[in-house]
Amino acid sequence: MKFFNQHRKMKKLACMLIMASLLATSAVGCSKGTEESSVANQASQQLEAYTVNLGYYNCDHMVPACVGEAAGIFKELGLDVKISGNGKVPQAMAAGQMDVGYIGTRGLMAARPKGSPIMVAATNHIGGSMYLVVSNDIEKPEDLLGQPVAIGSDPLKSESWVCGYSQDTGLPSDPSNYECLSFGSDADKYLALKSGNIKAYTCCDPWGSMAEYEGTGKIMSTYMEMDGAMGVCCAFAMNSNFEKEHPDIARKMVLAHTKSIEYIYTHPVKAAKIFADYYNVPEEVAMMTIYKKTVAEGRTLTWKIDDTQYAHAMEGYKKYDLVDELPEYDDVVKKNILAESGAKDFDEFIKNDVDEIYPVGMSYDDWKAKAMEIDA
DSSP 160: I
Give the HSE-up count for residue 20: Cα atoms under 13 Å, Cβ half-sphere: 6
pLDDT at 5: 39
Looking at mean pLDDT, say which of 19-23, 56-60, 303-307 comes out highest.
Answer: 303-307
Give the model confidence (pLDDT) of 8-57 as tens digits: 333 333 333 333 333 333 333 333 344 444 444 444 467 899 999 999 98
Q: Rounded mean pLDDT of the chain?
A: 88
Q: pLDDT band at residue 7, thresholds of 50, 70 and 90?
A: very low
Q: Do domains 43-126+231-374 and 130-223 have the same CATH topology?
A: yes
pLDDT at 1: 38
DSSP 155: G
Do 58 and 185 touch, CB atoms closer than 8 A? yes
| Buried b or exposed e, range 301-311, using 16+ CB within 10 angstroms | bbbbbeeebbe
Task: Give me the mean pLDDT over the 347-367 stretch.
Answer: 97
pLDDT at 19: 34
Alpha-helical (H) ranges within the chain are: 2-31, 34-44, 64-70, 73-76, 89-94, 105-111, 159, 166-169, 186-194, 207-214, 240-245, 247-266, 268-279, 283-291, 307-319, 329-332, 335-339, 346-353, 364-374
Give the model confidence (pLDDT) of 227-262 as tens digits: 888 899 999 999 999 999 999 999 999 999 999 999
Give the model confidence (pLDDT) of 126-164 as tens digits: 987 899 999 999 999 999 999 999 999 999 999 999 999
Cβ count near 217 (within 10 Å): 25
Task: Give me the mean pLDDT over the 102-122 stretch.
Answer: 95
List the chain domain ranges.
43-126+231-374, 130-223
- What are residue 223's DSSP bridge partners? 130
Q: Which residue has the higher pLDDT, 301 or 185?
A: 301
Task: Give me the mean pLDDT over the 56-70 stretch.
Answer: 93
Overall fold of domain 43-126+231-374? D-Maltodextrin-Binding Protein; domain 2 (3.40.190)
- The rounded distance, in Å, linking the Cα atoms of 28 and 91 is 49
- pTM to 2 decimal places: 0.86
Task: Give me the mean pLDDT over the 271-278 stretch.
Answer: 96
Task: Give me the mean pLDDT over the 71-90 stretch.
Answer: 92
pLDDT at 131: 96
pLDDT at 96: 84
- What are residue 218's DSSP bridge partners? 134
Task: Specify the CATH number for 130-223; select among 3.30.565.10, 3.90.550.10, 3.40.190.10, 1.10.287.130.
Answer: 3.40.190.10
Long-range CB pairs of 189-197, under 8 A, 24+ apart, other chains included: 189/150, 190/133, 190/216, 192/150, 193/133, 193/135, 193/150, 193/217, 196/135, 197/148
Give the model confidence (pLDDT) of 90-103 as tens digits: 888 888 889 999 99
Q: Quick one: which H or E segment has residue 144?
A: none
pLDDT at 130: 94
**What is the distance, to the nearest Å, from the Cα of residue 57 to the centroid of all Cα atoms in its chain?**
12
- The rounded distance, in Å, linking the Cα atoms of 198 and 188 is 11
Three-state SS string over 263-304 comes to: HHHHCHHHHHHHHHHHHCCCHHHHHHHHHHHHHHCCCCECCC
pLDDT at 45: 61
- The rounded distance, in Å, linking the Cα atoms of 302 and 158 is 23
